[in-house]
Structure 1
Amino acid sequence: MSSLRPFCLTPALAATAATLLLLLTPASQSRAQTHAAPATPAPVQPADPASAPHAQTTVAATSPEQRGITARAIDKVKEVARSAGDIFSRVPCLPPKGGSKAMGSLPHVASKLVAGQPVVIVAFGSSSTAGFGASSPEFNYPNRLAAQLRRHYPTADITVVNAGVGGEDAPEMMKRLQTQVIDVHPDMVIWQVGTNAVLRNLDPGETAKLVEDGISRIQAAGGTDIVLVDPQYSPAVNQRAESAGKMIKLLGNVAELRKVGIFPRFEVMRDWHENQSIPVEGFVIADGLHMNDWGYACFAQLLADDIIRSVGQIKLGVNVPADVKTYRPM
Structure 2
Amino acid sequence: MMVNSRIFRTAGPVALALMLAGAAASRAVAQTAPANAAALPGSSAELSASPSLGAATAGTGMPAPGLSGTVADKTAAMAASVRDIFDRVPCLPPKGISQSTGALPHVAAKLAAHKAVVIVAFGSSSTQGHGATSPEFNYPNRLAAQLHRKYPAAAITVLNRGKGGEDAPEMIKRLRTEVIDAKPDMVIWQVGTNAVLRDLDPASTVKTVEDGVATIQASGADLVLVDPQYAPAVNARGETADRMIRLLNKVAHHRHVGIFPRFEVMRDWHDRQSLPFDTFVTKDGLHMNDWGYACFAQLLGDDIIRSVDQVQAGVRLQPAATVNRPL
TM-score range, shorter chain: 0.7 to 0.9
Does 1:315 find its partner at 2:312?
yes
The letter for the 2-side match of 1:2 is A
Give me the whole-angstrom Cα distance separating, in 2, the residues matched to 1:150 and 1:203: 39
1:305: which partner in 2?
302
SS in 2 for 1:161: strand
CA deviations over 1:210-230 (Å, ceiling 9, x no partner): 0000011111222x1111000
1:251 aligns with 2:284: no
Q: Is the 8 A contact 1:105 1:327 kept in 2?
A: no
Aligned to 1:98: 96
Offset at residue 279 of structure 1 (A):
0.8
Contact 1:193/1:229 (CA < 8 Å) preserved in 2? yes
- The correspondence of residues 156-235 of structure 1 with structure 2, limited to 5 A, is 156-222=154-220, 224-235=221-232
Residue by residue over 1:184-228, the C-alpha shift from the partner in whole angstroms, topping out at 9 and shown as x without a partner, is 110100000000000011110000000000011111222x11110
Q: Which residue of 2 aligns with 1:8?
A: none
Instruction: Determine the C-alpha separation between the residues in 2 that align with 1:316 and 1:87.
Output: 25
| Contact 2:100 2:260 (8 Å CA) reproduced | no
Match of residue 325, structure 1, among 312, 320, 326 = 320
- State the identity as a percent: 66
- Greater helix content: 1
1:294 aligns with 2:327: no
Q: 1:111 to 1:263 in 2, by over 3 A?
A: same
Q: Secondary structure of 1:135's partner?
A: coil
After TM superposition, the score normalised by the length of structure 2 is 0.72
1-structure distance, mates of 2:170, 2:102: 31
Q: In the alignment, is residue 115 of structure 1 matched against residue 140 of structure 2?
A: no
Alignment-derived partner of residue 20 in structure 1:
none
Deviation (angstroms), 1:99: 2.4
Tell me, in whole angstroms, the C-alpha distance in 1 between the residues paired with 2:288 and 2:87. 18
Q: Which amino acid aligns with 2:286?
A: L
Equivalences for residues 252-271 of structure 1 within 5 A:
252-271=249-268
Gaps (5+ residues) in structure 2? Answer: 1-33, 38-51, 60-84
The equivalent residue for 2:16 is none
**CA distance in structure 1 between the partners assigned to 2:239 and 2:150 by the alignment:** 40
- Tell whether the 8 Å contact from 1:121 to 1:186 is kept in structure 2 after alignment: yes
Quick one: distance in 2 between partners of 1:99 and 1:212?
A: 24
**Secondary structure of the corresponding residue to residue 254 of structure 2:** helix
By how many angstroms is 1:100 displaced?
2.1
CA distance in 1, matches of 2:100, 2:199: 32
Q: Does the aligned pair in 2 maintain the 1:97–1:275 contact within 8 Å?
A: no
2: CA distance, partners of 1:298 / 1:308:
15
Secondary structure of 2:119's match? strand
Q: Could you state the TM-score of these two structures normalised by the residue count of structure 1?
A: 0.72
Q: CA shift at 1:251, angstroms?
A: 0.5
Secondary structure of residue in 2 paired with 1:116: coil
Amino acid at match of 1:241: G
- Change in 2 beyond 3 A, CA 1:326/1:211: same
CA RMSD, aligned part only? 2.4
Residues 134-183 of structure 1: CA distance to partner in whole angstroms, max 9, x if unpaired? 01101000000000000111111000000000000001001100001111
The aligned residue for residue 276 of structure 2 is: 279
Partner Cα distance (2:139, 2:287) in 1: 12
> Which amino acid in structure 2 is aligned with residue 297 of structure 1?
A
- Quick one: which amino acid aligns to residue 262 of structure 1? I
Are positions 1:127 and 2:125 aligned together? yes
Distance 1:307 1:171, change over 3 A: same
Give, in whole Å, the separation in 1 of the partners of 2:195 and 2:87: 35
String of CA shifts for 1:101-138, please: whole Å, max 9, x gaps. 45741111122112211000000000000000001101
What's the counterpart of residue 239 of structure 1?
Answer: 236
Conservation of the 8 A alpha-carbon contact between 1:264 and 1:328: no
